[in-house]
Structure 1
Amino acid sequence: MLSKSARHELRATAVAMAAVLASYGSTLLLERLAELRIDVVVLSVVLSLTLSRTQRGAPAADRLLGLVLLPVAAFAAEGVGTLVARHPDAGDALFVLCVCATVWIRRFGPHAARIGTVAVLPLVSILVLQGPVGAPTGVAHAGWVALVALIVAGWVLVVQVGAWRIGLGERAWPARRPEPARQSAPQTAPQPAPGTAGARRLRPSTRMALQMATALGAAFVVGRYAYTAHWTWVVLTAFIVCSGARGRADVVHKGVLRGAGAALGTLVATWIAGDFGPGDRTPVVLIFVVLALATWLRKTSYAFWAAGVTSVLSLLYGYFGESAPALLRTRLLEILIGAALGIAASWLVLPVRTSQVLRRRTADALAALSELLRTLAAEGPPQPGLLARRQAGFEHSVAQLDQLAPALEAKRFLERRLLPAPYQADAVDAVRRCVAPTRALVAFAAAGDPAQPAQLAAAFGEIDGELRRLSAFFGPVPAAPAGR
C-alpha cells in the first residue's frame, strides 16, 4: 500500500500530466493548422511539465504572473536561441548572462525568485531543442513560440485550479499566504557564523549566480570545442547540477545522482530506442509514460528524475533519427563532464557552506516555532485564524529546511562509518519531529478544550526534548513554554 506521501505525489503527478497532455494536444493541433515546426510541440511538453512543478502550490498572484511572464520569456528566449545558433560566441555569452540574472534576482524576495524560476524555463528549453530539432528561425517563429507558452501557462493554471476545486491538487487560491516569522528571532536561536553576513560579503544569490556563470561558461567551452555536434548535453548537465544548489553538500549529492541516474536512463533508453526507427510514434507514448514515472518518483530520489529525463532525451533523439547506441559513450561522458563542472564551480567559486544554510534555515524554523508557542501559551483565546497562520508559517519553514535533508542524510550515512554523532541530518530530524506535537497543540487550542492536561504536557514535553537535542549543534535554544 502506498504511503500518504506517495499518494500525495501521485495526485500531483496526475495533475501535472493532465496539463502536459492538454498542452501537447493543443499545440499539436496548432502545429498542423499553422504548418509550424515540430519544435513547438516539444517545447509545449517541456514548458508544461516544468511550469506545473514550479507553480505547484503557488499563491494566486504568482500564478497570474506566470501566465503573463512565460510568453514574454519564451519570446525573448527564442531570440537568444537564434543568436546561439547563428553567432555562437555572442549567443553563448548572452545565454549565460540571462540564466545568471534569473538566479541573481532571488535577492529581492520570494516573488522575485518565482519570476526568475519561470523566466529560466524557456531558456532551458533551448538546450533541449537545439540538438534534435535544429536552430530557431527568427522573429515570426518567436511569435508562435510565445503563443505556445501562453497556451501552456493557461492549461497549467486551469488544470491546477480545477484539480484543487475537486480535491485532487494543492490549494491554488489561498485566502492568505502563511504568515512569516518576525524578523527578530529569539536571541538563543542559532544564527549564521560570524562574518558570513554583512555588507562586506556577497549575498548567496550573487554567489550562486557567479557559480552558475562559471559552470555554464566552462560547459560551453568544453561542449563547443570537444563535442561540437552535441554540446548541449554538457551545458544542460552543468545547469541542472548548479541550479537551486543549497550548499556544497547538496551540489555534490545532486551531481552524483544526476550522473548515476543519467547513466541508467541512457542505458535503458538506448536499449529501448534501438527497436524503433525514426518517426515511429511508439516512443512518443513511452516518453509520456517515462515523464509520469519520473515526476512521481522525483521526491523519492533525484536519481529517478535524472534517469527519466535522460531517457526521454534519448528517445527524442532516436525519434529524430539520431542513433542512440552510437551516441551512448559520448552522452555518458558529456553528462559526467557537465556534472563535474557544476560541482567544481559550486565548491571553488565563492562557495556556500552547507553548515551556513543549515543554521540559517534552522534559525528561521525556530523563530516560527517560537511565535507559535508564544501564541499557544498566551492568556486568553487567540485571534481567529492566528494559530492557523502561525502553524502554516512554522510548517513552511520546516519544508524549507527539509530541502536539505537528502544531501545531509547521504552525508550522515557516510559519516557514521568514520565520525561519532551528532550529525547535521540529526538537526533536521529534530525540527521535523516538532511538527506533530505542534499540530496536536493547535488542535487542542482550536477546540477550546482545556480538559487535556496530560496530552498538552506530553506535546510540550516532546517539543522541549527536540529543542534540547538541537543544543548539540547550536548551543542553547529556547525551551518550550508551559501550557496554558
Structure 2
Amino acid sequence: MAAVLSAFGSAVWIEHRAHLHLDIVIAAVAMTMILGRVQRGAHPGDRLIGTAVLVASAASASEVSSLLHRFPLFGDAAFTAAMAATIWIRRFGPRATKAGTVVVVPFITLLVTQGQGVTSHAASYDLWCALIALVAAFWVAVYQVGAAAMGFHEQRPRPPAPPSLITPSSAKRVPASTRMACQMAVALGSAFAVGHMAFHDHWPWAVLTAFIVCSGARGRGDVLHKGVLRAAGASVGTVVATTIAGAFPPGDRWSVVIIFAVLGVASWLREISYVYWAGSVTAVLSLLYGYFGQNAPSLLETRLEAILLGAALGIAASWYVLPVRTGDVLKRRTAEALAALSAFLSSPRGDHTEIRRRQAHFQHAVTQLEQIAKPLRAHRMLTGAALRADTIDAMHTCVEPVRTLASIFASIDAETDTEPAWEPLRRAVAANVGAIRRALGSKPGAPYRRIEAQPSSPASLALTALDAALAELSRFEPRAAPLSSRA
C-alpha cells in the first residue's frame, strides 16, 4: 500500500501538470496494486525485464482501449486475443509465464477505466500510459527491494518447481496452457457479445468477471469453486459499496479515502480467501463509479446481473471447452510431489545444500498440490466423497517428517560415520514411494507393502510417519479410485 499511495501521488502530479484525465491516476493505482503481487521476490534481472514488458504492454493496452471506443468489434477481438496469448505462452516456461502475467496488468486496468466518463484519449496517450507504467514499476521496486533488505521473508523468491513428469501419453495431449487459452478466448468473446447487447455501457462488469473466473484455473472443480466464491463476494461487495457510495456526492474526497482503506484491507484478506478480495475489489469499483456520479440505485441490479452472467460464462467455458479435469491435475501434482519425495530420500548424506534444495522442492510440490485442495475439501464436506481430498491431506502430513529427516541427513558425516541403524527403514520407505508412483502411472511392479517397525530414534519415527502417509496414498491406486477420472 505504500507503493500504491506513492504511485497515486506521482500520477496525480503528472495528471495536473500534463492536463490529463483521472483515468491515468486510476491506472497507476491498479497497475501498482497488481504488479506488487506479480513482482514479489523477483530477481533484479527479471524485475528489469518485467518493467520493460509492462511499459510496452501499457502502450498496447492504450491502443486497444482506443479501438474499444472507435471500433468496438475490433477492440473486443484484440483484447480477447491478447488475454488468450498471455496464457498460451506459459508453455514456454516460468519466465514466459511471468511475462504473460505482467502483460495482463495494463489490460485489466483498461477494463477498470472503461466506466462511462472515465476514459479519454489524446494523440500522445500511449506515451503517457507507458510513463505511468514506469512510475508504478519504480515504486513497486523501491518498496519491495527495501523490504527485502530489511529482512521481510515474504519478499524472498520461491523455490523452483520440481520438473514435470512428462509421459508419452501426456505428451500427445493438448497442453494445459493451450486449453486454458481457448477457454479464456471463448469466455471473453461471449462476455463481450452478451455484455454489449444486454448491458450497453456497463459491459466491463461482465467481461471483468469472466476474466477473473477463468484466470488461474487449476481444473474444472477449481473453476466452479472460485467462480461461485468470486460471484458471491463481488455481489456482496457491490451491494455494500453502492449503499456507501450513495452517502457521498460525486467527487467527494472521502470516497477516495475509503477506496484506499478498502484496498489495504483487501490485500490482507486475500491471503485468507479470494472471496474477500473479490468482494473488496468490486466494492472499490462501485465506490469509484460513485465518485464519477454513477451511484444511482438503479445501477445495482445491472451490476449484479453482469457479474453473475460473467461468472456463468467463465465457468461454462472452463467446463466445456477443452476442459482440464480436476482428477488429472490431482494425479499429476501428486505424482510430482512423490517424485520430489523420492529424490529427497536419496539425498547425499552430509550435503547440507543439496539436502535443503531437495527439501525445498518437495515443499514446493506440496504447496502446488494444496492449491487445488479447497474445491476437493468442499466436495468432501458436501458429499462425503473423501478419497481425493484425503490424498492431499496425506501428502501434507509428509511435510513435518521430511523437515525432521532433512536435519538428520545434514548432520551425518558420510565419510566417517557408519551406516545408521535406520538405513534399511529408509530404503524400505523409498521402495514404497516408488511402488505408489508406479501405481499412479499404471505401471507394473511390486506393490506397496506396509512396514512394521518399532521406532527407536527420531529418524525411524519420521520414516514410520512417512510410511503411514504412504499407506493412505496406496488406497488411491487408479484401479481402486481413478485419480484421472472426470471432475
Distance in 1 of aligned mates of 2:290 and 2:32: 22
**Structure having greater relative contact order (Cα 8 Å, sep ≥ 6):** 1
Distance in 1 of aligned mates of 2:280 and 2:315: 21
| Unaligned segments of structure 1, at least 5 residues | 1-16, 186-190, 477-484
Shift of residue 322, structure 1, vs aligned partner: 0.8
Give secondary structure in 1 for the equivalent of 2:20.
coil
- Indicate how the Cα distance of structure 1 residues 104 and 112 shifts in structure 2: closer, same or farther if over 3 A, else same: same
- The letter of the residue matching 1:248 is R
Out of 388, 403, 407, the position equivalent to 2:356 is 388
Shift of residue 443, structure 1, vs aligned partner: 2.1
In the comparison of the two structures, how many residue pairs are matched? 440
Give secondary structure in 1 for the equivalent of 2:171.
coil
Shift of residue 413, structure 1, vs aligned partner: 1.3
Paired position in structure 1 for 2:16: 32
Out of 384, 389, 393, the position equivalent to 1:425 is 389
Give secondary structure in 2 for the equivalent of 1:351.
coil
Paired position in structure 1 for 2:90: 106
Paired position in structure 1 for 2:133: 149
Out of 185, 198, 201, the position equivalent to 2:171 is 198
Paired position in structure 1 for 2:48: 64
Q: CA offsets, 1:217-238, max 9 Å, x none?
A: 1100111111112011010000
- The letter of the residue matching 1:227 is F
Once the two structures are aligned, what percentage of the paired residues are identical? 52
Paired position in structure 2 for 1:125: 109
Paired position in structure 2 for 1:439: 403
| Unaligned segments of structure 2, at least 5 residues | 423-455, 480-487
Larger radius of gyration: 2
Out of 319, 338, 346, the position equivalent to 1:347 is 319
Distance in 2 of aligned mates of 1:149 and 1:441: 47
- Taking structure 1 as the reference length, what is the TM-score of the superposition? 0.87
- Indicate how the Cα distance of structure 1 residues 327 and 439 shifts in structure 2: closer, same or farther if over 3 A, else same: same
- The letter of the residue matching 2:162 is A
Within 5 Å, give how 1:221-260 maps onto structure 2: 221-260=193-232
Paired position in structure 1 for 2:268: 296
Paired position in structure 1 for 2:162: 181
- Taking structure 2 as the reference length, what is the TM-score of the superposition? 0.86
Paired position in structure 2 for 1:472: 475
Paired position in structure 2 for 1:10: none
Contact 2:238 2:282 in 1 (8 A): yes
Shift of residue 60, structure 1, vs aligned partner: 3.9
Give secondary structure in 1 for the equivalent of 2:152.
coil
Shift of residue 118, structure 1, vs aligned partner: 0.5
Within 5 Å, give how 1:68-87 maps onto structure 2: 68-87=52-71
Distance in 2 of aligned mates of 1:79 and 1:99: 15
Shift of residue 58, structure 1, vs aligned partner: 3.3
Distance in 1 of aligned mates of 2:44 and 2:353: 20
Give secondary structure in 2 for the equivalent of 1:227.
helix
Contact 1:22 1:155 in 2 (8 A): yes
Q: CA offsets, 1:115-169, max 9 Å, x none?
A: 1100011111111101144444144011011011011111111211111111235
Give secondary structure in 2 for the equivalent of 1:157.
helix
Within 5 Å, give how 1:12-51 maps onto structure 2: 17-51=1-35
Out of 413, 421, 427, the position equivalent to 2:381 is 413
Shift of residue 272, structure 1, vs aligned partner: 0.9
- Indicate how the Cα distance of structure 1 residues 203 and 136 shifts in structure 2: closer, same or farther if over 3 A, else same: farther
Within 5 Å, give how 1:368-387 maps onto structure 2: 368-375=340-347, 378=348, 380-382=349-351, 384-387=352-355
- The letter of the residue matching 1:35 is H
Q: CA offsets, 1:14-48, max 9 Å, x none?
A: xxx12111111111122122222111110011111
Shift of residue 373, structure 1, vs aligned partner: 1.2
- Indicate how the Cα distance of structure 1 residues 59 and 399 shifts in structure 2: closer, same or farther if over 3 A, else same: farther
Give secondary structure in 1 for the equivalent of 2:252.
coil
Distance in 2 of aligned mates of 1:148 and 1:205: 30
Shift of residue 205, structure 1, vs aligned partner: 0.7
Shift of residue 285, structure 1, vs aligned partner: 0.9
Contact 2:28 2:136 in 1 (8 A): yes
